[in-house]
Amino acid sequence: MTDSDIDSIIRVAAKGDGVTADGRHFPLTAPGDWIRPDGSVAFGVHHAVPPCSHFPACGGCQLQHLDEESYADFVTARVTGALAGQGIIPGAVLPPHISPPMTRRRASLRAARAGRKITIGFAEEGSHKLIDLQMCSVLDPRLFALLAPLRDLLGLILPDKRAAHVRMSLIDQGVDLLLEGVKVAGLAADEGLGDFARTHGLARLTIDEGDGPQTRWEPEAATISFGGAAVGFPPFSFLQATPDGEAALVGAVCDALPETGAIADLFCGLGTFALALGAKRPIYAAEGARDVILSLKLGAARAQRRLAADHRDLFRRPLNPEELNRFAAIVLDPPRAGAKEQILQIAASAVPLVAYVSCNPASFARDAAHLVAAGYVLESVKPVGQFRWTTHVELVGIFRK
């Protein structure tokens, strides 16, 4: 077999397919794999043995066939490729952070019942069919350990031919479990909920039968801590996917910020960054979700932080340049769609530093183009792959004017 008979995979595209030099896409291939004339694949040195028996059917992962080096390169390329599409070259591309296996502390699974069989898992890639998880290489073992007993519990509260959502988070007190789409009818089902929560030491058990969440078990107030400050945790609120991924994002932000001066944390959520900045400097934190910003306000007050929490829709009412110019730096962590409305206001401001945390390289790059056009320089980007073996990539971009 000669090089003329086969083609080499040279990179992995944004959606996970391997790509040859002439632009052809082949699923489940890694850089260095070879495509034979008959279309079959000869594995190269970067093709790894997937650690999970459910791969590639399970939609929870797309890239378990990549080795560590290739996956890290993919995470970085997702960021630099999106920026290149906007004509932006960052001053520095920092080494990527990749979360280890079995560290995911937050998961949303689906459950379905057909007769006596209960299936819990992720959907197949591109399908509604569920994979009944018998193992998982990404979930924290404390979350995965609940799946087997949950099948028994759902036998009591999930009607036949119905589906439910199983939403789990690891918080300060343990596992916070939210079950949506179930029906609790009768004494056996009611007692089953209490027995399950006690037996498995849940931090909280919340049920949503369609009328909104109702807490059935919460021995002590459910909290999540950032920077040493505990904040009340509304059921299945947003958390960074892994503790180490959160630490990498927070570290990249904190390393860039000036030592003194007030900081604005926009799209602040429960305070991942605002509280990590410490107790000594004044922080303005804005968020559009009322329950979340209230939790942050109360938690910051208990911890005696110098934090002003503002319930504000930053899409409809972004901070204007006059408001922004009061701050030594801006931190923002918007949803996947980005923050165009707020970015345009920042671009017109005189704020010297912007730390932009993004969960979508494409929307980040579009927003970055507005800042660069206004005179900001993209000093560095830090890629973060905390959704290990998926195409989902996060990053921190540091802009200076």
Query: Which residues are catalytically annotated?
Result: 359
d(Cα 238, Cα 236) in Å, to the nearest integer? Answer: 6
Closest Cα partner for 374 from 357, 339, 349? 349
Query: Look-up: residue for tokens 């350990």?
Result: 145
134 and 126 Cβ atoms separated by less than 8 Å: no
Residue 106, SS3?
strand
Nearest to 166 by CA among 177, 175, 174: 177
What's the angle, vertex CA 219, arms to CA 217 and CA 224, rounded to 5?
95
DSSP 67-93: -HHHHHHHHHHHHHHHHHHTT---S-B
Q: Which residue has 């089953």 as its token pair?
A: 192
Contact (CB, 8 A) for 183 and 190: no
- Do the beta carbons of residue 78 and residue 14 sit within 8 Å? yes
Cα distance between residue 166 and residue 159, in whole Å: 15
**Structure tokens given for 315:** 């899409």
Q: Name which of 97, 387, 81, 392 is nearest 249 in CA terms.
A: 97
Q: For residue 118, which of 71, 153, 80, 79 has the smallest C-alpha distance?
A: 153
